[in-house]
Amino acid sequence: MRLILHHWDTDGICSAAMLFNKDCKNMTPKIGNYYLEEDEIEKIKEEKFDEIYVVDLALNESSLKEIAEISKVKVFDHHVSKKVNGVEYVNPILEGKDEEDYPSASWVVGEFLNEKDNLLSFLGAVGDWEERIKITRFYEKLQDFMKKANITFEEMHEMIYLIDSNYKIGDKKEVERAVSMLSEAEDVAEFILNNEKWRRNRETIEKEIEKILNTEGKKIGNILIKEMDCRYNIISTVARRLWNKKDYVIVVNHGYFENECQVYVRGNNVLHLIQKALEHGYVAGGKKNVMGAIVPREECEEFINEILEEIK
Ligand SMILES: [Mn+2]
């Protein structure tokens, strides 16, 4: 039996669905965690898997080391990460390939399985890049596919929103179920677009986001600060919608974790902020335009002040 450990977003779910068969089980970490908790490791130990695939998941080094001691581990990914000894990697980015040629884990998996011409493989890429995929050289491939499959970009986008509604609403079980369902669906597009449960999720989330966008934020110079108290994992969506693509926006959610705050910053270059968060020992990550960090409640205010000092 093989375990597929995957990210909870569209790319993670689609990549896992492509790799899934009847000899697999799949699992996502607790949503929001980029590591495995003690009981999750125990569970993996008990099941005595022959092999573990880690898919589109930037798992922290110590979790990866722990599961590598339990079983053979193969990582399918497109994130930059530090290699762990004894783990096998299918990650062209680590071999120096360009992210425009490997925009998602699903595309990496598609190449591995020789199934690139697959809706799931493209969905992962659109999920990770959204509109920005249009300014990459990958877009030509996507356009060819959409034309052949008779699917519009808006429909692709809609599918992503529906798949992602599961993690945003915090339904880990449904995230996990989605993998086998997508892998077994006869018409994947139809299955996603007509999924009643996912559509209801989407409405709930959309209402919540609207509510947050309509509350007043705080402005310090050009920096917008928005605080929220929401039990859904929608902070990245809120931050993206608030960002005007030139100034900084800081979003803090007090309501998702019990003892920590989620902190998101969007700006033209926030790499130095990721570095800062990591120096504090926080679970943090991101890309050039976005930083996400999980900050202990009592350190949150101070960390925000530190960010402000850094960027204003
Ligand atoms: Mn991804």
238 within a domain of the structure (yes/no)? yes
Mean pLDDT of 215-225: 95
* Distance of CA 65 from the midpoint of ligand 1 (Å): 21
- The pLDDT-based confidence of 285 (bands split at 50, 70, 90) is confident
207 within a domain of the structure (yes/no)? no
Which of 173, 198, 223 terminates a domain? The answer is 198
Q: 15 or 60, which is more confident?
A: 15
- Residues whose CB falls within 8 Å of the CB of residue 231, separated by 6 or more in sequence, listed in order: 170, 255, 256
Let me know: does 286 contact 274? Beta carbons within 8 Å. Answer: yes
* Distance of CA 128 from the midpoint of ligand 1 (Å): 6
* Distance of CA 305 from the midpoint of ligand 1 (Å): 31
* Distance of CA 11 from the midpoint of ligand 1 (Å): 5
210 within a domain of the structure (yes/no)? no
For residue 87, the 8-state DSSP code is -
* Distance of CA 76 from the midpoint of ligand 1 (Å): 10
103 within a domain of the structure (yes/no)? yes
Q: What is the pLDDT of residue 178?
A: 98
User: pTM for the complete prediction?
Assistant: 0.88
Mean pLDDT of 74-80: 93
Return the structure tokens found at 128: 């990770």
pLDDT in tens, 286-310: 888 899 999 999 999 999 999 999 9
Q: CA neighbours within 13 Å on the CB side: how many for 152?
A: 4
Q: Cα–Cα distance between 95 and 226 in angstroms, integer?
A: 39
User: Considering only CA atoms, which of 287, 296, 294 is closest in space to residue 266?
Assistant: 287
* Distance of CA 312 from the midpoint of ligand 1 (Å): 31
* Distance of CA 27 from the midpoint of ligand 1 (Å): 16
* Distance of CA 109 from the midpoint of ligand 1 (Å): 11
* Distance of CA 238 from the midpoint of ligand 1 (Å): 19
Q: What is the CATH number of the domain that holds 225?
A: 3.10.310.40
Q: Cα–Cα distance between 223 and 144 in angstroms, integer?
A: 40
Show the domain range for 276. Answer: 215-311
Average pLDDT, the chain: 95
Same domain for 37 and 174: yes
* Distance of CA 50 from the midpoint of ligand 1 (Å): 25
Let me know: does 124 contact 93? Beta carbons within 8 Å. Answer: no
Q: Cα–Cα distance between 158 and 290 in angstroms, integer?
A: 23
* Distance of CA 78 from the midpoint of ligand 1 (Å): 7
* Distance of CA 166 from the midpoint of ligand 1 (Å): 16
Q: List the shell of residues around ion ligand 1, using CB closer than 5 Å.
A: 11, 56, 104-105, 128
- pLDDT of 88 > 90? The answer is yes
pLDDT in tens, 152-169: 999 999 999 999 999 999
Q: Cα–Cα distance between 61 and 289 in angstroms, integer?
A: 24
Split into its structural domains, the chain has a count of 2
- pLDDT of 126 > 90? The answer is yes
Same domain for 101 and 64: yes
Q: What is the pLDDT of residue 209?
A: 96
